[in-house]
Amino acid sequence: MSDSTSNSAYRIQHLSGVENYSTWKIKMLDILTDMGLEDYALGTNSKPNDVTAAAAWTKKDRQALSAIRLRVGDEPLIYISDAASASAAWTILSEMYQPKGAIGIVSVRRKLFHTQCQEGEDINEHIRTMTRYRKELAALSSQLSEDEFSITLLTSLPDSWDSFIQGVDTASLSDSTTLISRVLEQARQKVAKPSSDDIALAANRFKSKGSKPSSTATCHGCGRPGHFISDCHDTAAGKTYTEQQKKENYRRTMQNRSRPNNKSNRAHIAQEELPTETDYAFMSQDSRNSSLPADTWLIDSACTKHIVRNKTFFSTYSETPGHSVKGFGQTPAMGQGIATIATHLGKNAYNIALRNTLHVPDAPFNLISVGCMTRAGFTVKFAAESLSIFAPGPSPREVIRGRRVGNLYVIKVTKSSPRFSSSIQSSPPDPTIPDTLAFPSTPTSRTWKEWHRVFGHINTKSYSTTSYIHPPGS
């Protein structure tokens, strides 16, 4: 193979400036080493005095200079276009683009510590970037310890990796190579899992049929009794638990089962029409496309009840020991009550109270049940990129508006006004009230007689309901 053919066989990204000099330098030295020309670029092979040897040296030096220039972008090329030797060109590029001193170290450390892998981004590429910054620090004589690099790497992972991070033993932080191997393996498993191209929420309401595992069977994935790992929704969603967490899951589940009157309490909370039904909110999640934080509010077309993660949204609350929501693991529902929220549409805002809402801290998102809304007379309209929910009445009023993110519909929700929350707390409970009804926004409070006239003389029980909507100041 001729020298020119050997030279053109190597293809790397051209040097563009400071941003890629460190990686370009490593690759360029490897190319020169493979060509047997690295000494000419580094200046360790001086030109001999013998005429014949000097001619051969000049030819080799010219080949090294040519190899460097062919892999430099147009802007850096200006600075070495007149270089007389490969060593001169190499020195010029190093002086211009190699970070030096304290400012160089600070600059690289900033890039390293500020690098974050966003949800859905390529984990492999992210780790390569982090490793490259570490190598740049090493070139500046600023070594990053194994523990420090491991912690920095774990910190840079998306929020959806929290379960994985919880399972990392602190003793393994001293070996970043092994940690990187585990992260890459976890990323491959996430990609390989059969799931839709985006987050899909599907909920159903039915009684489980067929054979069930013994109540004494324990899942090796989550540690909870009552199912096998092949049926574990947590495992299917990519969640991992440490042995200590598995023991805690087992203890909590058994504790809930052993509480007095547990069976009757659970049946009372879970049932509405069918006495043996359980609340469901199945969830299949593809981590590659998940970019939503856990506190996001979604309009869910199938969950059997509204689900809220944060207890502070509840105006009334009662604990529900032993009750759980199936669909994203046997997730415990800690309580049930009226959740009060506020929505905002331009200059208008509405207080909304959602009755019979479940408090599920481990739910992946906050879920507003479409079934509960439509059953109470709300109209839910889906469009290509948005949705609108209209309260019932003679003149339907839009009270909730959402936007499409992937194939999900997200709404912006805040806490309701303290005055509205207090009014809900003081209202006597009424089990005959349906789940949802809306009051049009009005700047002043109205009596029940006035609301009776507004809604066309309907029965008062129809508007004394579980979902009230008022202006936040009312």
On whether the CB atoms of residues 311 and 339 are closer than 8 A, the answer is no
Q: What is the mean pLDDT of residues 340-363?
A: 85
Residue 63: CB partners within 8 Å, gap ≥ 6? 3, 7, 35, 37, 40
**CB atoms near residue 218 (< 10 Å):** 19
Q: Output the CA torsion 400→359→190→241 (10° steps).
A: 160
Query: Rounded to two decimals, what is the model's pTM?
Result: 0.38
Give the mean pLDDT of 207-230. Answer: 63
Tens of pLDDT along 67-104? 999 999 999 999 999 999 999 999 999 888 887 778 77
* Secondary structure of residue 63 in the 3-state scheme: helix
The closest alpha carbon to 40, from 23, 55, 24, 62, belongs to: 62
Q: What is the mean pLDDT of residues 34-47?
A: 90
388 and 400 Cβ atoms separated by less than 8 Å: yes
Instruction: Please give the residue that has the higher pLDDT: either 141 or 376.
Output: 141
pLDDT exceeds 70 at position 441? no
CB neighbourhood size of 19 (10 A): 11
Confidence at residue 444, expressed as pLDDT on a 0 to 100 scale: 40
Distance CA 431, CA 422 (A): 20
- 158-167, 250-259, 303-312, 446-455: which has the minimum mean pLDDT? 446-455
Q: What is the pLDDT of residues 146-198, one digit of tens each?
A: 999 999 999 999 888 888 888 888 888 889 999 999 999 888 877 655 443 33
pLDDT reported for residue 71: 92
Mean pLDDT of the chain: 75
Confidence at 39, pLDDT banded by 50, 70, 90: very high
Is the pLDDT higher at 283 or at 62? 62
User: Which is it for strands 366-369 and 297-300: parallel, antiparallel or unpaired?
Assistant: parallel
pLDDT at 66: 93
CA atoms of 305 and 294, how far apart (whole Å): 18
CA dihedral 162, 119, 131, 163 (to 10 degrees): 10
Tokens standing for 90? 């190499």
Least confident stretch, 37-46, 89-98, 454-463: 454-463
Measured between its terminal Cα atoms, the distance across the chain in Å is 85
Total Cβ atoms within 10 A of residue 236: 19
Task: Give the model's pLDDT for residue 266.
Answer: 32
Strand pairing partners for 402?
A: 387, 411
Residue 380, pLDDT > 70, answer: yes
pLDDT of residue 210: 43
Q: What's the CA gap between 455 and 395, in Å, rounded?
A: 9
Give the whole-number percent of the chain exceeding pLDDT 90: 20
* CA distances to 25, 84, 226 from 17, in Å: 11, 21, 60
- Rounded CA-CA distance 371/301 in Å is 7
Q: What is the rounded distance in angstroms from the CA atom of residue 239 to the CA atom of residue 285?
A: 11
- Mean predicted confidence (pLDDT) in 258-276: 37
Most confident of 32-36, 203-207, 218-222, 322-326: 32-36
Range of lowest pLDDT (58-72, 99-113, 142-156, 274-288):
274-288
| Segment 116-156, tens digit of pLDDT | 988 878 898 899 888 888 888 887 888 889 999 999 999 99
Tokens representing residue 269 in the block: 């909370």
Q: What is the DSSP letter of 473?
A: T
